[in-house]
Structure 1
Amino acid sequence: METPAPDPSPTDPHRTTPAPPAPTPRDRSPAGWRKFLDLWFEEWENSRPTPPPHDREHP
């Protein structure tokens, strides 16, 4: 079973979780943008189903 790549498009009909709101113009500084991306990725990671242990561990 393959894992789909994150789709940042909030209009994607197949998306199961809504995209976080876009940052406001004052948050577009490098630090603000980095924080936004970190929060977005964390939310996306948390919305993914947890893979079985044998998919995560490679001997």
Structure 2
Amino acid sequence: MEKFKIGDMVETTEGSMQHIPGTVVYLDQENEKYLVRFGGSQQMYYAEDEIVLWGT
């Protein structure tokens, strides 16, 4: 785990937030999920294989 760091700009590879840039704000090591914040208040947890660095 820890492919991404807090502060990294990422985008999801599928789902309703696909291709929308977000920021990694938390790493839940126990559940192996990243909390990604989109815009000012919307945030969701994603597995490492559900997100990629933004613009790649």
TM-score by length of 1: 0.20
* Larger proportion of strand: 2
The structure carrying a bigger helix percent of its residues is 1
TM-score w.r.t. length of structure 2:
0.21
Q: Which has the higher contact order (CA 8 A, sep 6+)?
A: 2
